[in-house]
Amino acid sequence: MTDIQGAIIRDKSKKIKISRNARSQEVMAYIFIAAPLALFLIFTCYPVFRAFYLSFTQYDILTPAKWTGLENYKRLLHDELFYITLKNVFLYVLMYVPSMIIVSLSIAMALNKIQYAATTYRVIYYMPGLTSSIAAATVWIWLLNPEYGIVNQILGYIGIVGPTWLANSSTALVSIVIVTVWQGIGGNMVIYLAGLQGIPDYLYESASLDGANKLSLFRYITWPALKPTTFFVVTMSMIGAFQLFDQAFAMTQGGPGNATKTPVYLIYTSGFNELQMGYASTMAFVLFLIILTISMINMKINGENSIN
Amino acid sequence: MKKRILSLVTVILVISMLVALAGCGGNTSAGDTTSAVESSTTTEATKTVADSKPVEITYWGDWAGEGQKQFEVMMKAFNESQTNVVAKYVVTQDMITKFLTAASSGQSPDIMFWDRWRTSLYAPKGVLHPIDEYMTKDNVKAEDFYTEAVKELTYKDKVYGLPLTVDARALFYNKKLFAENGITTPPTTWEELNEAAKKLTVWNGKKLERAGMSMQDAGLFSMWIQQAGGSMLSDDGTKTAFNSEAGLTVLNYWKKMVMEDKVYKVGFESGLDKGTDAFATGKIAMTYSGPWMLSTYKNYGKDLEFGIVPPPAGPNGNKGAGIGGFGLVIPEGSKHKAEAWELMKWWLTVPENAAMYGKTSLNIPGLKAATLDNFYSGDELYKPFLETFEFAKIRPTVSGYSTMEEKALIPNLQLFLEGKQSAEDTLKKAQELGDKVLLENVIK
CATH of the domain at A169: 1.10.3720.10
> Taking a C-beta distance cutoff of 8 angstroms, is the pair B162, B366 a contact?
yes
Residue B150 pLDDT > 90, yes or no? Answer: yes
CA A294 to chain centre: 13
Helix ranges, chain A (H): 3-11, 15-40, 46-54, 71-77, 80-113, 118-126, 133-143, 150-157, 172-197, 201-209, 214-217, 223-225, 227-242, 246-247, 263-268, 277-298, 304-307
Check whether residue A203 and residue A239 sit in a common domain.
yes
A159 within domain boundaries: yes
Residue B80 in contact with residue B132, Cβ under 8 Å? no
User: Cα(A2)–Cα(B302) distance, rounded to whole angstroms?
Assistant: 80
CB A252 within 8 A of CB A234: no
Share above pLDDT 90 across residues of chain B, in percent, rounded to a whole number: 75
Q: Please tell me whether residues A106 and A217 are part of one structural domain.
A: yes
| CA nearest neighbour of A271 among A117, A105, A81, A54 | A54
Q: In this predicted model, what pLDDT tens digit does every residue of A80-124 receive, in sequence order?
A: 999 999 999 999 999 999 999 999 999 999 999 888 888 899 999
H helix or E strand, kind and range, residue B171: strand B170-174
Evaluate whether B210 touches B285 at the Cβ level (below 8 Å): yes
pLDDT score, position B107: 85
CA nearest neighbour of B417 among B205, B269, B252:
B252
User: What residues of chain A, 162 to 191, have a C-beta less than 8 Å from chain B?
Assistant: 164-169
Q: Do residues A11 and A85 share a domain?
A: no
Residue B274, pLDDT score: 64
- Residue pair B367/B145 in contact (Cβ under 8 Å)? The answer is yes
Please report how many Cα atoms fall inside a 13 Å half-sphere around the Cα of residue B397, on the Cβ side.
22
Asked if the C-beta of A38 comes within 8 angstroms of chain B's C-beta atoms, the answer is yes
Greater model confidence, B97 or B385: B385
Query: E-strand spans in B15-147?
Result: 55-61, 85-91, 111-115
C-alpha span between B341 and B327 (Å, rounded):
13
Contact B267 A30 (CB under 8 A): no
Instruction: Indicate the Cα dihedral angle A38, A39, A45, A50, nearest 10°.
Output: 110
Nearest residue in A to B210, CA atom: A147
User: Residues near A94 by Cβ (< 8 Å), separated by ≥ 6?
Assistant: none
> CA-to-CA distance for B92 and A286, rounded, in angstroms?
33
Distance between CA atoms of residues B348 and B140, nearest Å: 10
Q: Look up residue A160 and give its DSSP letter.
A: -
Distance from CA of A260 to the nearest CA of B (A): 11
Q: Check whether residue A24 and residue A139 sit in a common domain.
A: no
List Cβ neighbours of B424 (8 Å cut-off, separation of 6 or more). Answer: B248
Residue A281 lies in a domain: yes
pLDDT, tens digit, for every residue of B209-228?
999 999 999 999 999 999 99
The answer to the question of residue A91 being in a domain is: yes
Question: Helix B2-50 crosses helix A46-54 at what angle (to 10 degrees)?
Answer: 70
- Asked if the structure places residue A33 within a domain, the reply is yes
Nearest-5° Cα angle at A122, A119 to A128: 140
Q: What beta strand segments (E) does B180-331 contain?
A: 202-204, 207-213, 284-289, 306-309, 323-324, 326-329
pLDDT for A16: 57
Q: Judge whether residue B364 has pLDDT over 80.
A: yes
* Same domain as A98, residue A30: no
Closest CA to A280 of A80, A41, A82: A82
Query: pLDDT tens, B240-271?
Result: 999 999 999 999 999 999 999 999 998 888 87
pLDDT in tens, B281-334: 999 999 999 999 998 898 888 889 999 999 999 999 999 999 999 999 999 999
Name the residue among A287, A305, A248, A308 with its Cα closest to residue A55: A287
Which range has highest mean pLDDT (A135-139, B11-15, B243-247)? Answer: B243-247
Q: What residue of A is the nearest CA neighbor of B274?
A: A142
Same domain, A171 and A241: yes
Tell me the percentage of chain B whose pLDDT exceeds 70. Answer: 87
From CA B70, how far away is CA B65, in angstroms rounded? 9
Q: Verify that A150 and A287 share a domain, yes or no.
A: yes
**More confident call, B80 vs A4:** B80
| A51 SS3 class | helix
Whether A205 and A287 map to the same domain: the answer is yes
Interface mutation target, options B1, B414, B425, B432, chain A, most CBs of A under 10 Å: B414
| Residue B331 DSSP code | B
**C-alpha B223: how far from chain center:** 15
Query: CB B262: neighbour CB atoms within 10 A?
Result: 16
Q: Do B8 and A75 touch (CB under 8 A)?
A: no
Residue A277 lies in a domain: yes
b/e for A108-124, b at 16 or more Cβ within 10 A? Answer: bbebeeeeeeeeeebee
Helix (H) or strand (E) holding B6, with range, is helix B2-50
Query: A292 and A176 in one domain?
Result: yes
Are B332 and B132 in contact by the 8 Å Cβ rule? The answer is no
Contacts of A164 in chain B (CB under 8 A): 265-267
> Quick one: residue A61, left, alpha or beta (phi over 0 = left, psi -120 to 50 = alpha)?
left
Instruction: Read off the pLDDT of residues A190-226 as tens digits, 9 standing for 90 and up.
Output: 999 999 999 999 999 999 999 889 999 999 999 999 9
Give a yes or no: residue A62 inside a domain: no
Contact between A145 and B13 using a beta-carbon 8 Å cutoff: no
> Which residues of chain A lie closer than 8 angstroms to B19, CB-CB?
38, 42
Mutate: best of A42, A60, A147, A170, partner B, most B CBs <10 A: A147
User: How far, in Å, CA of B111 to CA of B86, rounded?
Assistant: 13
Q: Domain range for residue A23?
A: 2-54
Say how far apart CA B15 and CA B181 lie, in whole Å: 78
Distance CA B206, CA B193 (A): 23
- A129 and A260 part of one domain: yes
Q: What is the pLDDT of residues B419-428, one digit of tens each?
A: 999 999 999 9
A150 assigned to some structural domain = yes
A149 is a domain residue = yes
Same domain, A164 and A30: no
Same-domain status, A43 and A110: no
- Judged by CB atoms closer than 8 Å, whether chains meet at A146 and B407 is answered as no
* Cross-chain CB nearest to B125 (options A63, A141, A258): A63
What is the SS3 assignment for B391?
coil
Distance, in Å, from the CA atom of B283 to the CA atom of B268, rounded to the nearest integer, reads 9
Tell me the β-bridge partners of B328.
Answer: B113, B162
Structurally, chain A folds into a number of domains equal to 2
Question: Rounded to whole angstroms, how far apart are CA atoms B112 and B58?
Answer: 8
